[in-house]
Each structure stands twice: as structure tokens, then as C-alpha cells.
Structure 1
């Protein structure tokens, strides 16, 4: 990437704010003022909400969420690749431990990441070309086993320069930096990506409220797949409180944590990832973009399903 190709701004990022001019103390004061203006909730007074905000501000992930209202490539990678062991748990505070190890939404996206890797590993063959859009740290592809797969080519596309830098470092750590090509581009208008056999995409649609824009995103993926190519993507299903068509399997979800999860994400963090869709909506959007042979692989809670869609031959 030449200097002229490098972005002057990352304000277009959907997933998280590029930066904040507020100091940590100023940010916390801003959040507290917002919570006071919003008032009490049936299950949480303003004072209780403020205590949670103060607890979030005590650890790195919490501070990032308060400032950015979303996850960047680094923190997404940390959450989906995190594995619990006693030593790790001891180093975490109570709320941080709960987020990493027990929160239903985090468990669902971690399971979703595992499903992605299983499906992608099964598709590997010599000479295959695979792309991750947006790639983040590109763990979905870079953590696969390529020991028996020569001449594989991997492509990463993202609008976050820090994500691209992180993906390159992970590729170096994995010993496959010579197999990847990274580009700073918008997922809706990719110019440099050749037609590939597989595209993997997670997370972008949960930040995009416009259904037509999501169809345009899927159409962009369709256009960059070879005939017979495969798209592996995902979506967030609506919780029962928001939709009678919710697919959630309540028996697989720790119900005691749902009020806290809602309080953290919806009120305190004011998260940007709030674009839920049903299986039926997602199927219709993919079909409108030209995909066929659409199938779903659900996580246990059916909160963050994986979708496998095919471009016709």
C-alpha cells in the first residue's frame, strides 16, 4: 500500500468510533451525565447504572466499550479466541470475568467463531483463494491449519488500518505472511479483490440498520465470488423481548444474566451492534443478492447463527 492509498480518516467505520478527544475521567463523567438524563430503569436505578459504568472503566475492554460503543478488531479477536483457565480467571475482575466467561452474547459469538473455522477448514483444498471481509485480525482464516494445503491465497479487506496491521502481524506469527494480500477498502465497493472461491464475513451487518444496504453488501460478496463459490456469514437474531419471532433457545441461555447484558449493552455502553434479523429475513436478503443453496448452522442458543450460501455455477 502506497502512502497515497492510506486513509486520511477512519470516520467511516461502522463498528466503533475511531477515537475520542475525551480523557478517561471526562468520558466517565459524560457517560454518567447521559445515564442521569435517561433516568431509572425498572430493574436498575441511575445509581446502580453509574456503579456499573464505573466498574467498566476499571479494565481495558470496559473502557474501550464506553468510549467506542462497539468492538474493534483487537477486542473482537480477544473475545472469540479467549479460553478459560484458572490462572486467566484469577487475573480478571468480577465484571470483566463475567463478560469474558459467562455473558450469553459473548458465548454465542465465540461459538459462532468456532463454527466458522470448522466450515472454512473443511473447504480447504490446494490452490483455493479465500477472502475475509471485513477481515479484522483475520483469525477466521489465519488460524486454520494449512500444513497440507499448498498454494492457498488469502485476502483481507478492512476499513480499519489497525485491523490490517494486526492481521499482518498474526500472519507473520503463523508463518503464512507470504500467502496473504491486505487492502484498505469499503466492503460495499471492493476494487482490488479478485474473484475468489470463498468469502467469510462476520459482524458488519449487525451495525447496518438499512436492509437494502445489507442486500447491497451481500451483492458485493456475490460479485467477488467465482461460480460455485461459497459465502460464510452470520447475523444476530432478535431477543424475545423485541420480537415474537425470536429464535432464541432460552434453555441454553443463562436467564439470570440477560437483564445485566441488556443493561450493559443497551443503556450503559449504548452499543452500535443492534441490528437484529431473523433467519427468514437473512435468507430473503441473500436470495435477493443472487445466492442459492442457503443453509444455517445455529449456535446452541440460536443467538448468532452462521449462514452458508452458494453462488450458482
Structure 2
């Protein structure tokens, strides 16, 4: 399988148009844009031009086909600041397109995702302790755990759980490239049906709640994590806050956001792609859900724009 085909082979929670030829998806998107007409913030011509640009690179094609991104592309986005932002190239050496660079380097949602990743890394690193068992659910490529500094430990266990076999396969290959003083295992499973009881010292979980519109389902997810943690264990998770147009109580720091980048993000993600990861919750809702699941008071770690914060919650000892 070619690198480009491997990019686009993964399954996404949203599914989108993954079962049809890309040419058909592209034609449908063009027809939707033409039928909808000019928007207040974008003409038909600009939308069609952006659609054509999205079709020029693998990540853009995956977004159009799946209406979201999977574990591979989440890893691609989060690793970009350390690699692609410096070199201007993708991991396979391909030169990144102009729109691709704007997406990865300026879109507020993407920048918040990258910042959220750094907050996860810091929280997880504090629990790289001999004897601990750490889990990532859903693990994607599991770089959230694999990429930490293990130089001070000699006995630690890492567990990756994901319902997507493609992500698990890629995670296994990534793990094999690390020289870790750790036992690393992977399991295919549904995050809502973990079946673990008092097993983990830390669970890292990112992304699921952004696809789930039902608040009670999200609380049930947190209850499962609570049950799977040992007494005194830690959940590191995150949530998307609503933008100003979606809620008068939006927590966004609009002064930290480039308005042109936000406009272009809206055209790409909302108008053209129609992303499905738009299940927003504010910090008070998230804290309430975690309390209802049994967790102690949650510590919210904000990104600069207050779009995609990390949250750290503890299980009573």
C-alpha cells in the first residue's frame, strides 16, 4: 500500500462518505456549494477554489471523505509543530500545499488541538512512575503515551484501547520503533464497554466526547473511566467549548484568534467538509459530568484561545 493510500485507508468515527469513490464525493460537494450559493462570508467561487485545493492533498481528501479525522490524522496534526512547521514537508517528504500549511499553522481549532496535546503530555509525564499502568482510550497511534520520557523508570505498563483496527495496527508499528522500558499492549474495544475495574493509574482520553451529542452518554463514558481507574487514579481528557455564534456563554478568548484564519476554518470545516466533531460543552457542564461520574473537582487547563482545553480529574483514594 502506498503512503498516500495508507493515509486515507483509516476509518473515522463519523464515517462520512468513506464507502464511495472520492470522485463522487468531490462532485457532490461541488453540487452542494453551487446549490447553496454565496454565503455571507464566502462566495461560490471562493468555496469551489478551496474545495479544489482540499482535493490536492491527502489530509484534505480524508476530511472530505470522512467528515473528520482518525487516529493517524490526529497524530499528523499534533506532530506537525515539531516537524512539518519547521521543514514545510509531510512525514513522507511531500511538500505541504499552501492551504495545508494554513490549516495546520493558523486554523484556531488546529492550533488548540496542538496546544491541548502539549497539556496532555505534561499531565501524563507526571505519572511516568515505576509500577504504574497507563491507558489511552481511544489510543489512535498512542503517541500521547509512547512519546513520553521513560528514562527514570524501569517497570511501567502502557495499554492502548481502540475500536479501530487500522489505528491499532499503526500504533503497534509506532510502538515497535520506541526503545521503551515498558510493557506495551493493545486491545480492540469500545470505550463505553471497557470492562476494567480498578486497573489503571491514569487514563488519557481525547476526542470521543466531541462526536457524541448526548450529554448522558458522555457522563456514562466518564463513569466507565472512573470504574477502570485505581483509587487515586487520574483521568486526563478534553472537551470542545462552543464558539460565540453557538452560545452567548462562549468561553472563547476571541482576542487570541486570527479572524481571517477563523473565517477560512469555518469555510473548510463547517461549510465544505461538514465536520461531525462539533459537540460542544462548556467547562461547567464538563465539571458537572465528571462530578456525576464520581470524580473529584476537575482542573481545567486552558489553551490560549480557550477552544479545546484539557481537563484533569482524580478518583478519590
Normalising by structure 1, report the TM-score. Answer: 0.92
Normalising by structure 2, report the TM-score. Answer: 0.91
1:301 matched residue in structure 2: 305
Matches within 5 A, 1:254-293: 254-293=258-297
Gaps of 5+ in 1: 1-9
Matches within 5 A, 1:73-112: 73-83=71-81, 84-88=85-89, 91-112=95-116
1:154 matched residue in structure 2: 158
**1:210 aligned to which of 210, 214, 237:** 214
Structure 2 vs 1, CA of residues 207 and 259 (structure 1 numbering), >3 Å: closer, same or farther?
Answer: same
Aligned CA-pair RMSD:
1.9
3-state SS of 1:188 partner: helix
**1:64 aligned to which of 54, 62, 65:** 62
Structure 2 vs 1, CA of residues 180 and 86 (structure 1 numbering), >3 Å: closer, same or farther?
Answer: closer
**Cα displacement string for residues 98-120 of structure 1 (whole angstroms, at most 9, x for unaligned residues):** 01111111111001001100111
**CA apart distance, 1:40:** 2.3
Structure 2 vs 1, CA of residues 174 and 264 (structure 1 numbering), >3 Å: closer, same or farther?
Answer: same
**Cα displacement string for residues 17-47 of structure 1 (whole angstroms, at most 9, x for unaligned residues):** 483221x322210111222233321121223
Contact 2:13 2:70 in 1 (8 A): no
**2:245 aligned to which of 241, 248, 255:** 241
Give the Cα separation in 2 of the matches to 1:41 and 1:186: 40
* Correspondence 1:163 to 2:164: no
2:51 matched residue in structure 1: 53
1:20 matched residue in structure 2: 19
Give the Cα separation in 1 of the matches to 2:196 and 2:262: 42
**CA apart distance, 1:291:** 0.6
3-state SS of 1:276 partner: coil
Give the Cα separation in 2 of the matches to 1:37 and 1:309: 47
Give the Cα separation in 2 of the matches to 1:87 and 1:189: 41
Give the Cα separation in 2 of the matches to 1:37 and 1:69: 20
Aligned length: 302
**CA apart distance, 1:242:** 1.1
**2:232 aligned to which of 218, 228, 235:** 228
**Cα displacement string for residues 31-66 of structure 1 (whole angstroms, at most 9, x for unaligned residues):** 112222333211212232122111100111000000
Contact 1:16 1:272 in 2 (8 A): no
Contact 2:68 2:275 in 1 (8 A): yes
Gaps of 5+ in 2: 1-9
3-state SS of 2:311 partner: strand
Structure 2 vs 1, CA of residues 143 and 269 (structure 1 numbering), >3 Å: closer, same or farther?
Answer: same
Give the Cα separation in 2 of the matches to 1:252 and 1:210: 30
